Structure 1
Amino acid sequence: MTKSADQEHVSPSSSFPAYVFNGPAQVAIRTRTNDQPRYVDTRLSVWTWYDGGLPLKIDWSTLNLSPALKEIAKGFVAYALGKYAPTTAFKASGVFARLAESDISTKFPWAQQELITTIKSWWGFRESIIFFRTFYRWALYRGFLGFDKVTYLALKEIKTKNLDPYARIFLSQSGLELDEEIRLLQHIDRHIQTDDWSELQFNIMLHLGFELGPRAIQFHSLDVADFEVIEIDDLEKYYTLWLPMAKKVGQRRPERRPRKITTQLGNKIAKHISEIQCRFGSGCTPLFVSLTGDRLTVIEIGAGIKHELREAGIDKPNQVTMLLRHHLGQGLADQGTPADVIAELLGHNSTVPAQAYVTATPNIARIKEKALGKSPAFQRIMRSLLTGEVVQRRDTTPEREVRGVIDTQYIGDIGACALPIHTHCPYNPVYACYTCKKFHPFADGRHEQVREALQRETQRFIDTAEHAGDLSHNRPLAQHQATILAVSATIERCQQHKKDDADDAV
């Protein structure tokens, strides 16, 4: 009769059987490269694994958890290491460090109300709540004592801090301005001394970031073998880079997809490979290496690219590789690239982030606005088609003020309606006002708030329409886009009105 890997025994301090983690001794993890450890030794008190060239650890001996809970936690982390990406497994293990600092760390099995109160106190730590729920469900489904369905359902009801992962893309332009792009290209094209291979390496990264927008972990995972040269004849060469995908769910090894690169970048990479193999031997497999020939970590890559950006006169806080990535995504959207193509080029799992680029701050519309705005004829047309005259709030009676709800948000203080008081308007307030001659916008009205609310609601429409397969011919989306442009034009009119008033006062 064989002994199971995970055993149960009666704990001397309790009256119920306690789970004991007894294996497997080595857990296979999802590695991104061939030169990092592929297993985690669970027989040690400190479990260590790697991702992006950085060690990720959990020291069980330092965690103030009850012995029974610690054994169950080991089982869950072993499960997470086999199921999730290395970084995700590390985040999942972090929930036990948070538990160890709480009042219930040694009180397992937990009293339901005490557990719920503790987890609710984590409201600002969204990932911790999500991973704890995942842990609790995992233990519940395996029948471990101390876990029950009623408590799990109560955990599911706990609210977490709302997080929109694409809010920065949607609400602000996070790429490069035109003058910054010019400086960046000049920096990429600069002459580099042939003996300074390290500087050439980071120049290649900057160039590659501009062309393909990879994440730092993708830079880290690139191998020499991922670079492919197709030579038609002595004068014509084509270059392909097999870029490892960073966020593909459920894959044991990163999928690599072919990406065409320019001849200029291809020539640089070919020269770089020749140099590093001359320095470190033909067995040097990473594409980007340190001065000792080791694969660069994601931190070293980020620091190097940030230095290059600063040298180019671009210094934006907390944005390095993602700055170039957002710039590429927004640039593709501005040129009319479909969302599914953007998603494919950037390696997204869905088209939702690509839609954020498409609808974020419509540069095409803004460019057209600015170009047409210089035309006096266009200005007269806009004035006749849009709202009535811009007015001051103090000159309007409260009964005439326009109020309404956009994206479940109440919005007032935007303008006044010229219809007789108590007359019912047949159109939807706020939505229809910015294309109505009866609407008189306040010079200092909250028009920016209206535009932001419309943009958020538009993104929600896009998400719904995408699931329904009705994205290309969607009238509400077209109507919202027209309204957003009308609000933008009103904002410019109000700014000009305030400027004229200031000039008259002088």
Structure 2
Amino acid sequence: MAKSADHEQASPSSSPPAYVFKGPAHVAIRTRTNDQPRYVDTRLNVWTWYDGGIAMTIDWTVLQLNSELIEIGKGFMAYALEKYAPRTAAMFADSLRFLSNTNLATGLPWEPIELTSALEELKKSRRALVGFRGFYRWANNRGINGFDTRSYLKVKNTISDRVEPYARIFLSQSSLELDEEIRLLKRIGRDLSFCSWEEIQLNMALHLGFELAPRSIQFHSLDIVDFELIESSDHETYYTLWLPMAKKIGQRMPERRPRKITNLLGAKISRHISEIQRRFGSGCEPLFVSRRGRRLSVNEIGQGLKHELREAGIEKPNQVSMLLRHHLGQGLADQGTPMDMIAELLGHNRTVAARAYVTATPNIARIKEKALGKSPSYRRIMHSLLTGEIVPRRDTVSERAVRSVIDTQYIGDIGACALPVHTHCPYNPVYACYTCKKFHPFADGRHEQVREALQLEAQRFIDLAEQAGDLIHNRPLAQHQITILAVSATIERCRQHTEDDADGAV
């Protein structure tokens, strides 16, 4: 990239020269497809760029930053647009908008107390903090007046109040239950003879999501030329899809990696390509298109997949493509697939997310299934081994109610203890209650709150264990997992108890 702004204008010797952006008129940006703009016009008041069919902008006229910070911001954004992915550049733009609402917006130099106050605000948004950190580092590395290494170290060491990426992934894997998978496969394999080509396209997307679990941006980036059909000498047909990688760092255009697909899916894609080329001509490039032949945006693809999942009877509207990714990842792990292979197949840069699936081994998966009440025989065993009888809240005196704190959260209204009043329990309340016969859970108790608090606390053990490199042999984590399963079993028992009472009333 040409030096975008490392030029200074002349000023009186009594004050340091101010920074002025003198970058190129057009900044080349990274693109995923051939049908989106490749440059941003820096002469305009509003800079616009695209990714996934979605426009992203920064309007310099509405930012409440002083003139010098506007110039510095333009230099930084020109650098970010050329160096980083469009979505990352959008994050930096968001950080500048956030900055304009802090006490730093009035201009340089920033007093230490002003910077500290602003960082407290930035901590509330991880994206804003990461973006501001990148902005400060860029300005400091270029020796721009008002930025110094000591202050940068303070910015660098500020930790966001928000959770880090993948922070909850070990305890929040969401995949399809067996009955949901059956309904999904029925939806994929349904008769499409009397369906419109748009419905067939959505069915094909759902089928692809089940087999390869691409992100929405990968669906969006797929072109017709990414589909490959090979017929062997003995007339066997093989299909390959060159899937664009979504999160590979440092690449101008997304790398494409070959993925084998089933003959059933391959035949669907082949017929679909013939149809859209008949409708929109041989010059049509995208694989997923609107009724006018335009490439579908990530939002349109997400809505289409959401519709298909809903039609299959799967009501998880906030997950969509991620649900299919988690399901594929967990399925691979349950078959003994190594972490690096799972990361490769899902297109991850690191194995952090893949470790989440591997830790949920087939045995743990079966335990979870049993704990959730899938096995009638196991329900009877759990009923005898875990807590005491379920009791109504109204029949319990307040002195017997169980209360405690988990992960800084106050936990109450969950059940009663059968020990004599004022008797000291030798075990840790709540943590031990769900495996104790003396504990009588309330049918309408806040057991979900307990499970969530335990999951958050267990995540802290996971983070520390990862740093120590000993995630497997971690006794506190194992104990938390057992307790979480016991809480899940209690939730199921309470649900069944409530349903039985309702049936009896009828």
Deviation string 1:41-68 (CA, Å, 9 cap, x unpaired) is 4344443322113333334345453332
Q: 1:365 aligns with which of 355, 364, 367?
A: 367
Whichever residue aligns with residue 439 of structure 2, its letter is H
What SS class does the counterpart of residue 162 from structure 1 fall into?
coil
CA displacement at 1:227 relative to structure 2: 1.8
Whichever residue aligns with residue 442 of structure 2, its letter is A
Question: 1:355-434, aligned counterparts within 5 Å?
Answer: 355-356=355-356, 364-369=366-371, 373-375=375-377, 381-382=381-382, 385-387=385-387, 406-407=406-407, 409=409, 411=411, 414-416=415-417, 418=419, 425=426, 430-434=430-434
Change (3 A) 1:187 1:412: closer
What SS class does the counterpart of residue 243 from structure 1 fall into?
strand
Distance 1:181 1:327 in 2: 9
Distance 1:86 1:390 in 2: 54
- 2:68 aligns with 68
Uncovered stretches (5+) of structure 2, i.e. residues with no partner: none
Question: 1:78-93, aligned counterparts within 5 Å?
Answer: 78-93=78-93
Aligned length: 500
CA displacement at 1:216 relative to structure 2: 1.3
Whichever residue aligns with residue 187 of structure 2, its letter is H
Task: Tell whether the 8 Å contact from 2:454 to 2:484 is kept in structure 1 after alignment.
Answer: yes
CA displacement at 1:76 relative to structure 2: 0.7
Which deviates further from its counterpart, 318-327 or 209-218? 318-327
CA displacement at 1:218 relative to structure 2: 0.3
- 1:51 aligns with 51
What SS class does the counterpart of residue 286 from structure 1 fall into?
coil
- 1:126 aligns with 126
CA displacement at 1:85 relative to structure 2: 0.8
Q: TM-score, normalised to structure 1's length? A: 0.80
- 1:304 aligns with 304
CA displacement at 1:72 relative to structure 2: 1.0
What SS class does the counterpart of residue 285 from structure 2 fall into?
coil
Question: 1:193-212, aligned counterparts within 5 Å?
Answer: 193=193, 196-212=196-212
Distance 1:471 1:158 in 2: 26
CA displacement at 1:271 relative to structure 2: 1.9
- 1:440 aligns with 439
Deviation string 1:179-215 (CA, Å, 9 cap, x unpaired) is 5544443333233359954433222112111222211
CA displacement at 1:459 relative to structure 2: 3.6
Task: Tell whether the 8 Å contact from 2:69 to 2:107 is kept in structure 1 after alignment.
Answer: no
Distance 1:323 1:201 in 2: 20
Deviation string 1:276-304 (CA, Å, 9 cap, x unpaired) is 34444444333223444443322332343
Whichever residue aligns with residue 265 of structure 1, its letter is L
Deviation string 1:358-413 (CA, Å, 9 cap, x unpaired) is 678965324334678523xx566545544556667788888877666544555466
What SS class does the counterpart of residue 269 from structure 1 fall into?
helix
Question: 1:78-477, aligned counterparts within 5 Å?
Answer: 78-100=78-100, 105-114=105-114, 116-118=116-118, 120-121=120-121, 124-149=124-149, 151-152=151-152, 155=155, 160-163=160-163, 165=165, 174-176=174-176, 180-193=180-193, 196-233=196-233, 235-312=235-312, 314=314, 316-332=316-332, 340-356=340-356, 364-369=366-371, 373-375=375-377, 381-382=381-382, 385-387=385-387, 406-407=406-407, 409=409, 411=411, 414-416=415-417, 418=419, 425=426, 430-436=430-436, 439-443=438-442, 446-472=446-472, 474-477=474-477
Distance 1:4 1:95 in 2: 20
Change (3 A) 1:397 1:13: farther
Distance 1:171 1:307 in 2: 27
Distance 2:434 2:56 in 1: 54
Uncovered stretches (5+) of structure 1, i.e. residues with no partner: none
Distance 2:284 2:149 in 1: 53
Which deviates further from its counterpart, 428-437 or 281-290? 428-437
Distance 2:365 2:71 in 1: 55
Whichever residue aligns with residue 416 of structure 1, its letter is C
What SS class does the counterpart of residue 9 from structure 2 fall into?
strand
Which deviates further from its counterpart, 102-111 or 133-142? 102-111
- Identity across aligned pairs (percent)? 66
Which deviates further from its counterpart, 305-314 or 413-422? 413-422
Change (3 A) 1:98 1:428: closer
Distance 1:187 1:503 in 2: 33
What SS class does the counterpart of residue 284 from structure 2 fall into?
coil
CA displacement at 1:243 relative to structure 2: 1.4
Distance 2:365 2:380 in 1: 23
CA displacement at 1:266 relative to structure 2: 0.5
Which deviates further from its counterpart, 289-298 or 81-90? 289-298
Deviation string 1:223-264 (CA, Å, 9 cap, x unpaired) is 223222232345422222121121223333323232221111
Change (3 A) 1:140 1:282: same
Change (3 A) 1:490 1:284: closer
CA displacement at 1:456 relative to structure 2: 3.0
CA displacement at 1:160 relative to structure 2: 4.0
Q: TM-score, normalised to structure 2's length? A: 0.80
The RMSD of aligned alpha carbons is 4.2
Deviation string 1:415-460 (CA, Å, 9 cap, x unpaired) is 53749976683x65544454455x4334355544443333334444
